[in-house]
Structure 1
Amino acid sequence: MTEFGYFLSCEEHGPAELVEQARMAEQAGFTSLWISDHYHPWNDDQGQSPFVWSVIGALSQAVSLPVQTAVTCPLIRMHPAVVAQAAATGAVQLDGHFRLGIGSGEALNEHILGDAWPEADVRLEMLEEAVHVMRELFTGEQISHRGKHYTVENARLYTVPDEPVPIDVSAFGPHAAEVAGRIGDGFITMAPDAPAIERFRRSGGGTKPVSAGLKVCWAIDRDEAVRTAHRLWANEQLPGELAQLLPTPRHFEQASQLVGPDRVEAALTCGDDPDAHVEAVKEYVDAGFDTVYINQIGPDQQGFFDFYRTKVLPRLAD
């Protein structure tokens, strides 16, 4: 049976709002939480970007739901040894109900210290080494590591959960899905892509969990919902590798001028038709995902949670 979680957007909401949304998600019947990990939002209209590890600490005191980052980049902005400490602490705070979702990142967040932004194959190579470093640290033993990309010297995590933190890997292309199958404890993506799941499973993922995120914009006025989704998330419709390569929110704003409202309307479920929302989620269910995380675009979070609690989640449980 597919489970349904809520996707907390750090790009749109501040820490207190995110914690309140987590409470509403739990009350509405969602069974787990994803939370994005960004230094910048994608554009200035989104307007937020709190430090995710502080928010995770607050979530551990506010709700009883499992939490996963979607996704953290442990390559450049944060060294994998530091990410490992943050993830281990989060797992302890959440009584082990934490998974670390990781990916190869975007220049938008990772170039801020002035480091070069590597090409995709190099980033995947760095990701594999980072996973090795983090798994070694999750043992609680002292380690030293001198690899191609990272050095760790006499490092030990003293605060660790009883079991190592599971590491799920995000992937959006065939090669990345194969890497995820080889090194990940699970698979993360944002499309109802059954072939990607199959590629992950054939590459070593086996029966490990696969999760996906889905954005919607609930509103009574469908046209208003389309306008909101276009204003805040037109960047999601940019093609190719632009999402990984553009360096600032301003660049995303410039590129998003090429994305019209009609394209957003065609790509996202907007409005208050329960059938449309159920159909959108079932695409992911039918593709074979174990968990689907749904995110409400825009400010009307309470209306969304009421709608899903009464009109959508009960039908998905049938």
Structure 2
Amino acid sequence: MPVRFGYTLMTEQAGPKDLVRYAVDAEAAGFDFEVSSDHFFPWLSAQGHAPYAWTVLGAVAHATQRVELMTYVTCPTIRYHPAIVAQKAATLQILADGRFILGLGSGENLNEHVVGARWPAVADRQNMLAEAIEIIRKLHDGELVDHRGEYFQVDAARIWDLPETPVPIGVAVAGATGVDRFASLADHLIAVEPDAELVETWNRHDRTPTIDSPATRAIGQIPICWDPDRDTAIARAHEQFRWFAGGWDVNADLRTTAGFAAATQYVRAEDVANAIPCGPDLDQIVDAVAAYWCAGFTDIALVQVGGDAQDAFLREAAQPLLRKLREAAPN
């Protein structure tokens, strides 16, 4: 099957009405799927937004017809109880006519601290995520669920509106430990590094798929900063996306945008330009994206950096970029 290319609805850098408009334009441009972040905070205050992803996705499901939709990713453990995630995922799948994938992860302190709960250690967060997936699966079976677990309790819960197409689940992992823990629990792998060993290890695990097709997908994401002027692109990427340089061990634990600003104050513009393809060169972007399909990823979502840069990107660059990507990617 050909590699699929996606567009990221980055809730940290655009308001809800703009995100819905971008979703429609991205579908028209030819993207295969669209993923949405699910944040309470932006990473940096310069990004300036954080609308509720699930409301946006409901509107996007109504406004689009073809593209698959996905959370990239939702944490179903602290800010949301897993029973509530199960309910809204089922509802969204109905609205999307079967086009939705529930992407889950263990979360970041940036978004989860807002409800006043303790931020758990990594091992606890992974245990919570595994238990949450168990609850979501049970509720999506349509039965009355009572659950008494180590982290969660569910009392006589049932999802009354279930979609005809079950909701596939993807899980974000970053290493062998995560693969071993979650590969048998999820349908699809989510990762943000082009790590071939990660994909190969995931694919070796047995799993019970949600959907009729047993094919698992490896769904990656890469930031780009297209602009007709390279210097403008580099400046924008540095202002709004230097948080990316911290790595997940750091990013998962910081609480506020001020914390991210402090942690990245010494990241230079040239550091960001070396990590993110910036400017008008579409071939440079293709070369960066190619690392993902070479690593075995089946689906790759692009993040165009900058809320004020989406219209120009979708109007001027998206279609020629997609043509180049599809010409270069394996069929």
**TM-score normalized with structure 1 length:** 0.97
Matched pairs, number: 318
SS across alignment from 1:270:
coil
| Aligned-partner SS, 2:252 | helix
Which residue number corresponds to residue 24 of structure 2? 23
Identity %: 38
1:4 maps to amino acid: F
What's the offset of the Cα at 1:142?
A: 0.9
Alignment of 1:26-65 (within 5 A): 26-64=27-65, 65=67
Give the SS at the match of 2:300.
Answer: strand
Contact kept, 8 Å, 1:81 with 1:133, in 2: the verdict is yes
Which residue does 1:199 correspond to in 2?
201
Contact map agreement 1:213 1:295 (CA 8 A) in 2: yes
Match of 2:232 in 1: 224
* Secondary structure, counterpart of 1:245 in structure 2: coil
Residue 310 of structure 1 and its aligned partner are, at CA, apart by 4.0
Superposed CA deviations along residues 78-118 of structure 1, whole A, max 9, x for unmatched, are 10001111111100100111010000001111111111111
Deviation at 1:151?
0.4
Q: Does the 8 A contact of 2:11 with 2:38 survive in 1?
A: yes
- In the TM superposition, residue 195 of structure 1 has moved relative to its aligned partner by 1.1
Is 1:168–2:177 an aligned residue pair? no
Q: Which residue of 1 aligns with 2:126?
A: 124
- Partner Cα separation in structure 2 for residue 203 and residue 113 of structure 1: 35
Distance 2:193 2:52 in 1: 26
After superposition, give the CA deviation of every residue in 1:45-70 in whole Å (9 maximum; x if it has no partner).
Answer: 11111111110110011111210000
Alpha-carbon distance in 2 for matches of 1:125, 1:203: 19
Q: Can you list the C-alpha shifts for 1:271-315, whole angstroms capped at 9, x where unaligned? A: 001210111121112111111101110112122123444422112
Amino acid in the other structure paired with 1:55: V
Cα distance in 1 for residues equivalent to 2:224 and 2:191 = 16
Q: Distance in 1 between matches of 2:317 and 2:136?
A: 37
Match of 1:261 in 2: 269
Distance 1:261 1:302 in 2: 24
Q: Which runs of 5 or more residues in structure 2 are unaligned?
A: 208-213
Tell me, in whole angstroms, the C-alpha distance in 2 between the residues paired with 1:4 and 1:240: 24
Pairing of 1:91-110 with structure 2 (within 5 A): 91-110=93-112
CA distance change for structure 1 residues 187 and 240 in 2, over 3 Å: closer, same or farther?
closer
Q: Match of 2:249? A: 241
Distance 2:89 2:95 in 1: 10
Contact 2:130 2:182 in 1 (8 A): no
Match of 1:77 in 2: 79
What is the alpha-carbon root mean square deviation over aligned residues? 1.3
Aligned with residue 315 of structure 1, among 303, 324, 330: 324
Q: Deviations over 1:222-277 (max 9, x none)?
A: 01101100100100001451101111111111111021111101000000012101
What is the SS of the residue equivalent to 1:130? Answer: helix
Structure 1 residue 304 and structure 2 residue 313: aligned?
A: yes
Could you tell me whether the CA contact under 8 Å between 2:93 and 2:165 is conserved in 1? no
Structure 1, gaps ≥5 residues long: none
Partner of 2:210: none
State the distance in 1 between where 2:31 and 2:14 align.
19
